[in-house]
């Protein structure tokens, strides 16, 4: 294995390596474009939903007096309101994935509980994320409990209780 690492790459191997790097870059670019399209679709759906809520809020004060005189009028309005939300429903289904990609608040903006249960994001590409502080505390407490249990068991078996 050490012999293979010390030898320089042949022209064929270099060409293959460059080809693989180009393929990787192309796949990453496609993935980034897909994520951007999903985010755009999510933002459009969110904007459409906000506009719909604003339109419903604007029209809501007018129908409020109408239900008192006749009970039949609210039913047609509910039926009329149902077709409008059915059109945007496919978009939120697509937008379900990008919601997990939303930017997280900075550590300064987080509450104490949020900081305790979230780990720091890795800075490097191949870096492993660190453990959350709460996880470290639980591990330390478990180790202390294990040590106390072992001491108790050993002293008990020796007749020192």
Residue 2 has a pLDDT of 54
**Which whole-number Å values give the CA distances from 107 to 32, 44, 116, 126, 146, in the listed order?**
26, 29, 10, 22, 33
Read off the pLDDT of residues 131-155 as tens digits, 9 standing for 90 and up: 888 899 999 999 999 999 999 999 9
Which regions in the chain score pLDDT beneath 50?
1, 63-64, 70-83, 85, 87-90, 92-96, 98
pTM for this predicted structure: 0.32
Q: Would you tell me how many other CB atoms lie within 10 Å of the CB of residue 41? A: 18
What are the distances in angstroms from CA 105 to CA 87, 117, 118?
32, 14, 11
Domain boundary assignment for the chain: 8-102, 103-161
């Amino acid at each position: 294995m050490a012999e293979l690492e010390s030898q320089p790459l042949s022209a064929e191997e270099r060409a293959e390596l460059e080809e693989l790097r180009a393929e990787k870059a192309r796949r990453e670019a496609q993935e980034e474009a897909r994520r951007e399209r999903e985010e755009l679709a999510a933002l459009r759906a969110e904007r459409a939903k906000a506009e719909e809520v604003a339109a419903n809020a604007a029209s809501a004060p007018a129908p409020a007096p109408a239900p008192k005189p006749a009970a039949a009028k609210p039913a047609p309005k509910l039926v009329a309101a149902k077709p409008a939300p059915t059109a945007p429903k496919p978009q939120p289904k697509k937008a379900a994935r990008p919601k997990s990609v939303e930017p997280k608040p900075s550590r300064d903006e987080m509450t104490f509980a949020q900081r305790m249960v979230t780990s720091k994001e890795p800075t490097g590409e191949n870096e492993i994320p660190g453990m959350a502080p709460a996880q470290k505390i639980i591990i330390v407490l478990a180790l202390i409990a294990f040590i106390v249990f072992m001491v108790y068991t050993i002293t008990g078996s020796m007749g020192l209780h």
